[in-house]
Chains A and B, each alone.
Chain A
Amino acid sequence: MKITFPHMGTSPIAFRMLIEKLGHQAVMPKRPSEKTLSLGSHYAPEFACLPFKILLGTYLEALEEGAEMVITSGGLGPCRAGYYAVLHDKILKDLGYHIDFVVLEPPQKRAVDFLKKLKKITSGNSMSVVWEALSTTWTKIKVLDEIESMTYEIRPFEVNKNETTKIFEECLKIIDAAWTKEQILSSKGKCLELLNSIPVDAARNPLKVGIIGEIYVVLEPAANFDIQRVLGEMGVIARRSIYLLDWTKDNTFFKGEEHIKHAAKPYLNQMVGGHGTLSVGNTVLYSREGYDGVIQLAPFACIPEIVSKSILNKVTKDLDIPLLTLFLDEQTGKAGINTRLEAFVDLMYSKRRLKQGVVV
């Protein structure tokens, strides 16, 4: 079976391995490009959010390469992302494609359904093979997340421009080639070595920015114009609040978000779907930890993030932390985003100088 899946950050590397370990052929989703987005926007409803359009474009591209099955996530709402798969399926069928959608709904509510669907993908493999594949994938995602997050710490200090980015690309290739748990762990060692070999200027005192918002546009560099890398190149440490692994944990069996929800409580004591409540909570936490600013990323017309944006205006006023909200859609251009980022960075610098008593 030829299987494809959404493109989200570095995760395709791990999911390709999972699918191939289970004896299927993976149709690697392409990194979303302008073509992907314009394909998706063409067939998607006008007011569907950006991830919906990008995913639809990704599927259409994968169909051209012969994909027969899509594995994607469902959801329980009230964010509309939980309904994506149903509508994607309907739109693709309406266009005359035949593709099998396997939608993994959060298992804590529909355990039987989850296992049934899992079986659709794993059939023909012994339990031990399935277990090995799943746990290795888990390890791979963990390593990918770790290595990626390190680059955002190193890049603002790099002496030679673009070096971190080059090394990171090399790292991805190394991790991609690792196929067992041992290999993955040793590939991690190699990557760490490479990253540590980058010459840095430790005397710099970069700004620190927290990135919050809707999961897809936060995780997918193609959707947010590589914001974390761009900020790094501007000499800013940009940390994001969401990693794929956290999300997987929170949406399967574990609960790790309680302290964030607690921080949001004085402003928004209610889950509003998506990452809306967490955006508010994380802003409070970032401000407590002394970050210089917060950037909120959201697709245009994203429901939960509109709720949180409206509340964040008050939060940032109360806590005196600058906030830049970027609503992204198919009209958004790289130059526009960069200009706004540059202005925001300038603002944070002058705010810092003001705090230090330097007259600007």
Chain B
Amino acid sequence: MKIGIPRTLTYYAYYPLWESFFKELGCDIVVSDKTSKVILDDGVQYAVNDACIPIKLFHGHVHNLKNKADYIFVPRLMNYTEEKTVTYCPKFLGLADMIRASMDALPPLLDIKIDMREKRKYRREEFERVAALLKTSPRKAMLAFQKARLHLSRYNTMLSGKLSPDEALKLLLDIHDLPAASSDPLSLAVVGYPYLLYDEFISAGLIKKLLDMGVRVLTPEMVPPRELNKAAKALPKDLFWTFSNQVVRSSIYYLQSGSLDGIIHVTAFGCGPDSMVDKLIELEAKQRAVPFICVSLDEHTGEAGVLTRLEAFVDMLEFRRDRK
């Protein structure tokens, strides 16, 4: 059986989990192609016009898998942290339903609900449903999921302080391997959701461009979970969304570290949670007098535009540091 996994959204944070789970059950995996103009255009065509770019891209990636798989994996990711009160953006929660309503003639969707807060009984029911679809036993499915969780956590520990999955991984490897151009590079926190930062097409190669400028890039994934939990205390109330919490907390962590030259928030046009996140980071940065810009990405974002803004920001930071 072939499972198609869209190369976007949860892919960049949870791919090891999905991969290990399906392989353990003897399924083949096909990942959609890297984001391209065609995938973006397909996404724009199928998704509801008010959706944000990441959701449109998801539609595009699903379309890309149309004739390649027996099932398309669209996880209904509810909660996958130690924290009980957080979930994901509402658009993640209703993703499978959105896809079903707006795209025809797809292979069946495999919408596994993942909610670590739920009682065992409900989780077992979910595994029974999934096992029937995958023609395996619920016990096997549950064991495979346990194994996959271990796999992901090992993976995360191994990479903590350093990296993230796949080409993100490769990209981040570059961050560490690249000899800094100057002996004392600027330290820039580049914060944003993994599906924006590490998707080279949609982010217009933002991280690479910064690296080429000889800047030291710090991303949310590099902050150890313990430090993130500490940073959470700076806010009176947690945000409701796992990825947003990671972004805000890592920003606070980097700001508190005191050695930061600037902070770049990468966001998607029309992202609901980010309207909150962006202002929070802006205010935190303002308090500590750290320069801040927001780079908003959409279907019209061009490489040149992004590059110009980054260059201007970095120039400004260098000027500021020289003056000090």
Q: How far is the CA of A94 from the CA of B271 in the complex (A)?
A: 24
Interface size on B, residues (CB 8 A): 40
B136 within 8 A of A: no
Among B145-153, B188-196, B205-213, B237-245, the one that faces the other chain is: B237-245
Which segment, of B4-12, B21-29, B120-128, B273-281, faces chain A?
B273-281
Query: Does B47 sit within 8 A of A, measured CB to CB?
Result: yes
Whether, in the assembled complex, A327 has its beta carbon less than 8 Å from a beta carbon of chain B, the answer is yes
Q: How far, in Å, is B76 (CB) from chain A's closest CB? A: 7
Q: Which residues from B are CB-within-8-Å of A306?
A: 48, 50-51, 55, 91
Number of A-B contacts (CB under 8 A): 126
Chain B 237-276, CB-CB to A under 8 Å as 1, else 0, gives 1011100000000000000000000000000011111111
A293 within 8 A of B: no
B293 smallest CB distance to A (angstroms): 14
Contacts of A314 in B (CB 8 A): 100-102
Q: Which residues of B contact A94 (CB under 8 A)?
A: 283, 286
Q: Find residues 259-278 in chain A having any chain B CB closer than 8 Å to their own CB.
A: 267-274, 276
The listed residue with most B CB atoms (<10 A of its CB), out of A47, A269, A304, A327, is: A47
Set of chain A residues within 8 Å of B237, measured between Cβ atoms: 74, 83, 86
Which residue of A is nearest B93, CB measured?
A272
Residues of chain A with a CB closer than 8 A to B51's CB: 306, 310
Q: Which of A78, A87, A269, A310 has the most CB of B within 10 A?
A: A310
Among B56-90, those with CB < 8 Å from A are 76, 85-90
Residue of B nearest to A90 (CB): B283
Instruction: Give chain A residues whose Cβ lies under 8 Å from the Cβ of B89.
Output: 78, 303
> B88, B91, B269: which contacts A307 (Cβ < 8 A)?
B91
Scan A74-85; emit 1 where CB is below 8 A from any B CB, else 0: 101111101100
- The answer to whether A83 and B276 touch (CB under 8 A), given A267-B101, A270-B76, A310-B98, is yes
Tell yes or no: A147 within 8 A of B by CB.
no
A78 and B90 contact, CB distance less than 8 A: yes
B97 at the interface (CB under 8 A from A): yes
Task: Report the nearest B residue to A300, measured CB to CB.
Answer: B50
**Does B305 reach chain A (CB closer than 8 Å)?**
no
| CB <8 Å contact, B94 and A77 | no
With an 8 A cutoff between CB atoms, is A193 at the interface?
no
Complexed CA–CA distance, A307 and B98 (Å): 6
Alpha-carbon gap, A94 to B283, bound state (A): 8
Contact present for B270 and A301 (CB under 8 Å): yes
Known A83-B276, A86-B236, A94-B283; contact A78-B88, beta-carbon cutoff 8 A: yes
Interface CB pairs A-B, < 8 A, 29 = A47-B274, A74-B237, A76-B240, A77-B240, A78-B88, A78-B89, A80-B240, A80-B276, A83-B276, A87-B280, A89-B236, A268-B97, A270-B93, A274-B90, A300-B50, A301-B52, A301-B272, A301-B275, A306-B48, A306-B51, A306-B91, A307-B91, A309-B50, A310-B47, A310-B48, A311-B97, A311-B101, A312-B101, A315-B101
Interface residues of A (CB under 8 A from B): 44-49, 52, 74, 76-80, 82-83, 86-87, 89-91, 94, 267-274, 276, 300-304, 306-315, 327
* Those 10 A-B pairs whose CB atoms lie nearest each other, nearest first: A77-B240, A310-B48, A303-B272, A314-B101, A47-B275, A307-B94, A272-B90, A311-B101, A45-B279, A273-B90
